[in-house]
A and B are shown apart, each in its own frame.
Chain A
Amino acid sequence: MLKKDLGLLVLIFVVGAVVATINPRFLSTINIANTANLVGLFGIFSIGQGFVIITGGIELSVGSIIAVLGVVFVDLIANKDVWWPLAALLVLAIGMVMGLVHGLLVTKLKLQPFVVTLCGLLIYRGVARFYTKDATAGFPFGVNFPDLEWITTGRTDIVSVLTGGSFHSILIPHSFFVMLVIAAAMWVVLHRSVFGRYLYAVGKNEEAARFSGIRTTRVIVAAYMICTTLAALAAIYFAMYTRSILPSGHGSFYELYAIAAAVLGGFSLRGGEGSIVGVVLGTILLQVLQNLVNLLGIPSSLNFAVMGSVILIGVIADQQFAMFRQRREVARGRLAASTAMPEAAE
């Protein structure tokens, strides 16, 4: 697992170095800060997607959740005058309930995750458009939320803060910090906690998990709830980042970014495999690629084509490498067996 992450990190540096050589603006403070912001925003919900993918499921409604909860959040604080922390909690709670429903449909009614969440994708998108009557949701002129804006779109020179001003770094967007905090917390949950172990067990072999006395239903439902709650959090961040939401297009395809990030990060869509570091690195690589398209003057219409090609190449390379490793292991095993054979025969 660690080797895989390392490979991805190297790839990010190689791509980054190539882009930086061709266009030095890649390393400009403003570009780095902007990329970090996007990594933060996309990372928040991609981590959630990882949890569902580990159970062997998939969550396709992430983009629509970001749209519908985005317009709800903006409407609550801008038009309904709801105190913003309350609105945020409400939005997170709605997100959590969405995951609960998805998870129960998958486990109790035994529906396929693809179908359940595809329906979610359609329903939430429709609701979002209906909610605003297809109009753009935004903040009226002069309405400000200083605290909320500081938390979501603020930027801090963290080095300067920590060293009391003796050293300086660039201004880093808070969305990136939030993503890092979530990643750290989720790393503990996935890689160190009881629940995380159960997730891997359920993803690899649900039957054996059940025969070990694990409440597999709860584990799977919890994974969907984590995913949609993080999507709800991302919805707030995206709403504050774009400040105006066109419900027909806001968040479109974002679930696919998340799935792509997870796959790049070493998750298996069959379940049971993947790491938090992997999905974060996958998100970074995707954003660097987006950045590459912009900075190298590639027509932005080719954006998806570039991304798709890199993911495809990455997955093929990874698979070939895995096969090579397996062959080597088999060869080594055979060697060991042939030397051990004389003793085993008698």
Chain B
Amino acid sequence: MNIIVCVKQVLDPEIPPAKFKIDPETKQVIPPPGVPPVISVYDERAVEAACRLKDTHKGNITVISMGSEKAADVIKHAISMGADDGFVLSDAAFENLDSFGIAYVLSKAIEKIGGYDLVLCGRQAADWGAGQVGSILAEILGIPIVTLACDIEAADKNIKVKRIVSDGYEVLEAPLPSLVTVSSEIGLPRLPAGMRLMIARKKQIPVWTAQDIGAEASQLGTDNAHTEITGLSVPDRKTECEIITGATSSEAAVNLAVKLNELK
């Protein structure tokens, strides 16, 4: 089974909010110094889903990431989990693309790789979280899509996917090739270990430009953008926190219980 996984490198969402700074002028986030970017959490689950399928059915996992050349780090992370190959898609023309632009670039890279049975994406990115690249990508590639997967099983020419819904899940059957977006309910990603880490470290990650994948400049200009971000702000959420005290910790606990009991 040949699987292509699309991953994104994002700001680490596990930072304290105090480190989160934006530039309202450029509508961009200012990367906090000393905090390395990470693989987007849902994309890591998509890599995990791919690895599980490979565990059972053999095959090949190729990971692609559009971003700066540093995106090689998240591809190496995916390889350390069990992916085989990876490509970074980087070009000045790829900067600040909207969901349609991103999906277009990914589709060109996927067409160049070719021969795939399954394309996996995270359900949304942990940063801008537009939640639509996978769906647009499937439309461009002209393949079926299942969103919000919490389990994927493969049979001969089919996959069976559990799709998470608010009160349970649906079971869907899709032909191959298809695209599936993966949700965190699929479970924890494996920890890279031993040999895999070494393989990942040594792996060369080629960088593909717009020209390499045949992406046309006419599709990438800002004139072609479907959406535009016109403002970015951080809502003011600071509350007055009343610190409950007491002569002892127990007394503080009693005071808190009484206080909270009066609230309702």
Partners in one complex: no
